Chains A and B, each alone.
Chain A
Amino acid sequence: MSKVILKLGDDISTDAIYPGRYMATVLPSETPQYAFADNSEFNSKARNRVFATGSIIVAGNNFGCGSSREQAASTLKGYEFHVIAKGFARIFLQNAINLGLKCIVCPDIDASEGDVLELVGNTIHNKTNGKKFETVPLPKSRQSIIDAGGLVAYTKMRLMGREPLNSAVNPGMIE
């Protein structure tokens, strides 16, 4: 069970998540300090470790649209935030999966800042308003990357010639 710490609308761009002027900072260990940097209240709370790990950001459609900057995913991963959005933009979602940032697609999500949410199987329970919402699975093609714990780990396995389990690439394979 976790609390919603930020509620956002549609089309939240990666410029909003991680402004361009901080992009000289690239390392995942250094990017978290600039999360939502133009929202100084949220940013300073994050940097002062006000939020527990697993805290939830709720957003509308097309979360993470715009630039492919991976810092937008690593900055949120640094705090182990979870993002529940009605929909995600392609590159951001791929970056999030690659880095192990937990993203949940939930087209009907209805939650406000401060609400307590619980994920039970494929359903999100909003303990505060009593409502329940179905989640949509992430692209099956990326499941092997998720299972490996991220793209760095997955690529290591492929480099060493090990075929990972549940490879979506060989549909004829018996799992």
Chain B
Amino acid sequence: MGMTVVERILARATGQHEVKAGDVLEPGIDLAMSHENAALVINQFNEVYKGTGLKPQVWDPSKIAIIFDHRVPAESSKTATNQKRIRDFVAHEGITKFHDIRADVGGICHQILPEYGYVRPGYVVVGTDSHTTTHGALGAFSFGIGATEMASVWALGIALNIEVPKTIKIIVNGEFKKNVTPKDLILHIIGRLSAQGANFKVIEFHGDTIRNMPVSGRLVLCNMSVEAGATSGIVPADLETVRYLREEAGVDEDITLIAPDKDAEYDSIIEVDASKLVPQVACPHTVDNVKEVMSLNETKINQVVIGSCTNGRLDDIESAAKIMKNKKIAKGVRMLVFPASWRIYKEALKMGYIADLVNSGAVVMNPGCGCCLGVHQGALGDGEVALSTTNRNFKGRMGNPQGEVYLCSPVVAASSALTGIITDPSKGVN
């Protein structure tokens, strides 16, 4: 019987000829990622070793990546002390894939992993972050786990008792209309599936829209797959994956492309006509509360956010800069831009995008998660409305339960920043 991509990856990772959905196995881990929550992982890791008489030691420091991004620079002495503890642990264990608060190596974890070539097609990747699903864009089986689960990975080097998930196949064909982006596609899919429609399953993306989509767009689709409840999203590796890895991530080694078998069995098959899509907006307070942008009449906004592991990439910044060049942000509106990595920031500087954004009134911030999770760098006041290219709009997500968050693409965000209301880009300021 044929296997899906994830089934093939897990068969390979456990040295088996064939696996099927429902099998329970324990694959070796190729890459384990944590950010500031490594502080809790370290605590649980030490708890695991207590009383065993063994010396705490990670199974393979070369397979662990630690990135500071959620609270950079530290918003409190408590966080700074957590970061210090992690820094000491990294040095002690000899973890070299460490990205501190520095402009020569820093960024958001889900941009650093692809950018630095840490992910390969066929890898099993885990991360203490639910958006670890992002790396399925490079053909890896990549999923989020909790801190104690990660402590067991650090100790044993394997993922314990993994049940092979079923796979939903989504086939996307057709060319995007003007102003429609991968963010609109995934918002549409989440709206269709619902916040739990893909629970415990993997989404495998197919179709010519996907084949023609650069890795930067595939990262968006896989990043937000978790918002439909998916264990992960995955785009079978192809020539575009190879191009990205060779040209943008500087990968020199052999790359193995893993495709699903022709007779693979899927839980369900969904088809999407991309040519019919229009810009989408996820409305408060769930990600599956998706509406077409043109149906939102006169929704005033106070804070626009462009950035995050979802939409902080160079093409996102480029599309915003092109819309806002020589124009001014609407009165009373503030806009924050968080490039997803310092490499992207420096490229955007070179291309003049940062100048265009700053001249329009946008506040360009340091790469990091910023206000996405309501910690710092852009709180909302009572009754305020944010329009954001981030990935969650739960009540209180951006720090204030009396605030409202709408999610959209960078094109909608930039167009709306100029008008002060949620705007259909085709009707925007010209």
Contact = CB atoms under 8 A, between A and B. Distances in A.
Interface of A: 10-11, 13, 15-16, 19-21, 23-27, 38, 61-62, 65-71, 73, 87, 89-91, 94-95, 98-99, 139-142, 144-145, 150-152, 154-156, 158-160, 168-169, 171
Among A139, A156, A160, the most chain B Cβ lie within 10 Å of the Cβ of A156
Interface residues of B, number: 56
Contact of A159 (B71, B155, B196, B200): B155
10 closest Cβ pairs, A-B complex: A20-B373, A95-B146, A26-B40, A62-B196, A70-B146, A155-B152, A13-B394, A24-B78, A15-B394, A68-B144
B161 A91 contact: no
Given A13-B394, A152-B44, A20 B399 contact: yes
Interface in B212-230: 229
Interface stretch (B46-54, B247-255, B347-355): B46-54
Contacts of B24: 140-141, 168-169, 171
29 contacts: A10-B195, A15-B395, A15-B397, A16-B396, A19-B374, A20-B373, A20-B397, A23-B36, A24-B36, A26-B82, A66-B130, A66-B394, A67-B129, A67-B130, A68-B128, A70-B37, A70-B147, A73-B146, A90-B229, A91-B144, A91-B145, A141-B163, A145-B160, A151-B152, A151-B160, A152-B148, A154-B152, A158-B155, A158-B156
Contacts of B151: 151-152, 155
A95 B300 CA distance: 39
Contact of B399 (A13, A21, A169): A21
B401 A98 contact: no
Contacts of A99: 148
A25 B76 CA distance: 11
B392 interface: yes
Nearest to B132: A68
Contact of B375 (A21, A38, A91, A156): A21
Interface of B: 24-26, 36-37, 39-40, 43-44, 47-49, 51-52, 54, 70-71, 75-76, 78-79, 82, 128-130, 144-149, 151-152, 155-156, 160-163, 195-196, 199-200, 229, 231, 286, 373-375, 392, 394-397, 399, 401
Given A21-B374, A65-B195, A150-B148, 12 more contacts: A15-B374, A16-B396, A24-B75, A26-B37, A26-B40, A38-B395, A62-B195, A139-B163, A141-B161, A152-B148, A152-B151, A159-B48
Nearest to B78: A24
Given A21-B374, A94-B146, A98-B149, A38 B196 contact: no
Contacts of B25: 169
Nearest to B379: A21
Given A15-B392, A87-B199, A159-B52, A141 B78 contact: no
A68 B130 contact: yes
B49 A159 contact: yes
B52 A169 contact: no
